[in-house]
């Protein structure tokens, strides 16, 4: 057989396999609301299909997935034929593909015509069509396969933000027929409530000897499942929301020339239109919008997975038209995936500095959230049981932004037969094989062996970390080497290390050894709050450490204070005070303190602020970036004046300082609570006067 014929035969076989896979996964995603692969993995299948069909156009048929949208409807709901088809969008996965789309747009228009683009956040939800007749909602339908969707009117009618009857401002005419398209989604806080409720229910099921039920893995699937409930009362309880973003069929309505005019029209009729939509005049500006929201996607109270870009001029849209499945005048820029599926090879445990034992997943390597992931947290024994993940499962792995990767849950449809539930070990994995116990009423299992080398190493790592003594260059690998060589048995031994010892370790030469010793020596003058944090006392964090340092002035006074005196310090309380007195009552801990003292570590360096204490009792939250401050600098400026800068807005917040690209959830919460919102100039005035500008 000729090489060309063999290549063509391979393409036919692979094309048939891709058609089968794509149809199957569309059914799992669009109809069953139970996908077996991530969006990114599905996109890869579609992209491979399009490449084959580009090279072999004879394989393209009307039944090909490239010519169809979504999946067929389910029998639970009545079918609805869309008068105007609900098409899908082509995707751009990076800057070059976005630029290529922009060039195709310009090429398809008369030479010299100016273009403007509307950028919209791509909501990770369920596409919806709302039909109004004479201003009354008469039908709501899912996209389905683009031509026929599902009638979900009764359920959509329970969504509070969806208008049931339209009212128009003076001078605006309500069309005889108005079809509004948009996205039904489940806000993150509603998803967390639903997830927590299912986990509580599973605790009861396990206690009763029954199997746990699947826990929702993400807002999109949970939202789609909520919308397809047979009982609309269940849908009403879930807290679904809606953003309008497009017109469908319109009879007797006003004439528009641009897309952004249609959005303003929808907003005037009472439809929720996303406030982050922008009109820009170039593909470079589109790219900047995409980059900004990729970086800030987690500031939103709902999930997005990209940006939808549309040509604004409606006449230009008519000129460009459609392909078999998508408009040429729009594209979806997809963010890098934050969820993927992979094989769970094993579940192992790690031991922390306090003896806390944490299970973690050993995974088949998968690229997710911008990096390769081979391990992910499983939190504790209860979470493993509730999620019911087992070695050998295909699992969903999530890594959002800089968050530590976690296993969200198993893909039950792919579970091999005979997999046994994972059992938590009873002994520590360290050479001492200490007993693992779980105190009554606690969620965490602990190793109770005082000499556990795993605890020792983690205490040293924590001691040297940035939030504690901040010893640059002393990472995990070096600590493990020092420990294995017998050079350190506790953090105090760091101060007696020598160049000769370091030169015996892998990766060290004279210059790097001297540099590390200089960094260790420099940590001797860290302020008292840093030292207190570095001790690793249970419950004692940076905020309480600062309060104690200011109240007592030096470490000796804190060591010798009574539990009642410690608890009386604002921000400390009985639990932290009891933990501190218990820690200092252990002879080995006292000996460790004396070892540090003999090494020259300062125990009374307060770095007390000399600034006026004009923000005492004030809670000032900062969101977004400020020109004159970095993030830590703005919060430090508040604390240096006696104020507090918590990470979230609450009823106790006195003011919210808003910089560029603020967190939308914080701003919305502040507006709901009537909390003053300050710009940077007003923040500077607050720091100078202590008064919140009116």
- Nearest residue to 352 via CA among 460, 241, 483, 504: 460
Contact 176, 133 (CB under 8 A): yes
Please state, in angstroms and as integers, the Cα–Cα distance from residue 18 to each residue in 45, 64, 260, following that order: 7, 10, 38
Is 230 one of the catalytic residues? no
- Please, what is the end-to-end C-alpha distance for the chain in angstroms? 84
Determine if residue 329 is left, alpha or beta; phi over 0 gives left, psi from -120 to 50 gives alpha, anything else beta. Answer: alpha
3-state secondary structure of 388: coil
Per the CB < 8 A criterion, the answer to whether 217 and 393 are in contact is no
Backbone angles phi, psi at 124, to 5 degrees: -85, 80
Count of C-beta atoms within a 10 Å radius of residue 493: 17
Angle 432-434-436 (CA atoms, 0-180°, nearest 5)?
150
What are the distances in angstroms from CA 414 to CA 61, 188, 211, 342, 411? 31, 27, 18, 11, 6
Strand, helix or coil for residue 530: helix
Alpha-carbon Rg for the chain in angstroms: 30
Question: In terms of Cα–Cα distance, which of 116, 468, 19 is closest to 313?
Answer: 116
Map residue 435 onto helix, strand or coil.
Answer: strand
Residue with tokens 């050079």: 487
Residue 354: which residues within 8 A CB-CB, separation 6 or more? Answer: 446, 455, 536, 538
Contacts of 51 (CB under 8 A, 6+ apart): none
Sign of the torsion angle spanned by Cα atoms 156, 158, 163, 164: positive
Could you tell me if 649 and 632 are in contact, meaning their C-beta atoms sit under 8 angstroms apart?
no
Region at 674 (left for phi over 0; alpha for psi -120 to 50; beta for the rest): left
- Cα–Cα distance measured from residue 359 to residue 377, given in angstroms and rounded to the nearest whole number: 7
Q: Of the residues 6, 107, 122, 433, which is catalytic?
A: 122
Alpha-carbon distances of 267 from 171, 249, 253, 271, rounded to whole Å: 15, 17, 15, 5
Backbone angles phi, psi at 595, to 5 degrees: -60, -45
| Enzyme catalytic residues | 122
């Amino acid at each position: 057989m000729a090489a060309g014929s063999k290549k063509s035969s391979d393409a036919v076989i692979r094309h048939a396999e891709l058609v089968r896979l794509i149809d199957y996964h569309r059914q799992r995603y669009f109809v069953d609301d139970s996908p077996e692969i991530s969006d990114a993995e599905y996109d890869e299948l579609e992209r491979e299909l399009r490449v084959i069909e580009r090279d072999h156009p004879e394989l393209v048929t009307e039944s090909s997935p490239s010519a169809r949208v979504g999946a067929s409807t389910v029998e639970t709901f009545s079918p609805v034929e869309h008068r105007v088809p609900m098409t899908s969008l082509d995707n751009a996965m990076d800057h070059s593909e976005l630029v290529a789309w922009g060039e195709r747009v310009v090429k398809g228009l008369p030479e010299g015509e100016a273009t403007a683009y509307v950028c919209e956040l791509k909501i990770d939800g369920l596409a919806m069509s709302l039909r109004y007749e004479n201003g009354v909602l008469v039908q709501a339908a899912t996209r389905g396969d683009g031509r026929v969707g599902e009638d979900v009117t009764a359920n959509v009618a329970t969504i509070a933000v969806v208008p049931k009857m339209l009212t128009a401002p003076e001078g605006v005419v309500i069309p005889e027929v108005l079809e509004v398209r948009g996205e039904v989604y489940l806000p993150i806080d509603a998803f967390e409530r639903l997830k927590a409720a299912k986990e509580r229910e599973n605790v009861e099921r396990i206690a009763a000897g029954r199997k746990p039920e699947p826990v929702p893995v993400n807002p999109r699937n949970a939202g789609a499942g909520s919308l397809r409930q047979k009982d609309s009362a269940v849908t009403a309880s879930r807290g679904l929301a809606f953003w309008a973003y497009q017109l469908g069929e319109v009879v007797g309505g006003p004439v528009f020339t641009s897309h952004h005019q249609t959005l303003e029209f929808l907003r005037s009729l009472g439809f929720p239109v996303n406030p982050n939509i922008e009109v820009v005049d170039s593909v470079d500006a589109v790219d900047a919008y995409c980059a900004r929201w990729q970086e800030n996607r987690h500031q939103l109270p709902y999930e997005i997975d990209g940006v939808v870009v549309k040509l604004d001029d409606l006449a230009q849209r008519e000129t460009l038209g459609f392909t078999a499945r998508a408009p040429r005048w729009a594209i979806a820029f997809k963010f890098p995936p934050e969820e993927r599926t992979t094989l769970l090879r094993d579940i192992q445990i790690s031991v922390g500095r306090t003896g806390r034992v944490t299970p973690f997943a050993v995974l088949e390597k998968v690229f997710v959230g911008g990096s390769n992931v081979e391990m992910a947290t499983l939190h504790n024994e209860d979470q493993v049981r509730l999620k019911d993940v087992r070695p050998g499962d295909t699992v969903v792995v999530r890594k959002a932004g800089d968050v530590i990767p976690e296993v969200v849950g198993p893909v039950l449809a792919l579970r091999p037969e005979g997999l046994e539930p994972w059992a938590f070990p009873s002994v520590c994995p360290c050479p001492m094989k200490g007993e693992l116990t779980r105190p009554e009423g606690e969620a965490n299992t602990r190793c109770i062996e005082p000499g556990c080398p795993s605890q020792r190493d983690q205490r040293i790592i924590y001691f040297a970390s940035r939030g504690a003594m901040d010893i640059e260059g002393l990472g995990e690998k070096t600590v493990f080497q020092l420990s294995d060589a017998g050079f350190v048995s506790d953090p105090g031994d760091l101060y007696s290390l020598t160049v000769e010892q370091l030169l015996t370790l892998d990766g060290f030469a004279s210059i790097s050894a001297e540099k590390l010793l200089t960094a260790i020596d420099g940590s001797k003058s860290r302020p008292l709050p840093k030292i207190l944090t570095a001790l690793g006392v249970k419950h004692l964090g940076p905020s309480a450490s600062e309060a104690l340092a200011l109240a007592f002035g030096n470490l000796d006074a804190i060591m010798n204070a009574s539990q009642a005196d410690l608890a009386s310090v604002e921000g400390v309380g009985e639990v932290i005070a009891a933990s501190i007195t218990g820690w200092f009552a252990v002879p080995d801990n006292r000996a460790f303190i004396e070892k540090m003292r003999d090494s020259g570590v300062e125990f009374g360096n307060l770095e007390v602020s000399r600034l006026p204490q004009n923000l005492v009792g004030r809670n000032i939250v900062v969101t977004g970036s400020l020109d004159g401050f970095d993030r830590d600098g703005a919060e430090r400026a508040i604390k240096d004046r006696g104020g507090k800068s918590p990470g979230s807005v609450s009823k106790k917040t006195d003011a919210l300082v808003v910089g560029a690209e603020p967190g939308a959830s914080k701003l919305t919460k502040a507006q709901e609570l009537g909390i003053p919102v300050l710009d940077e100039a007003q923040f500077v005035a607050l720091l100078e006067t202590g008064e919140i500008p009116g």
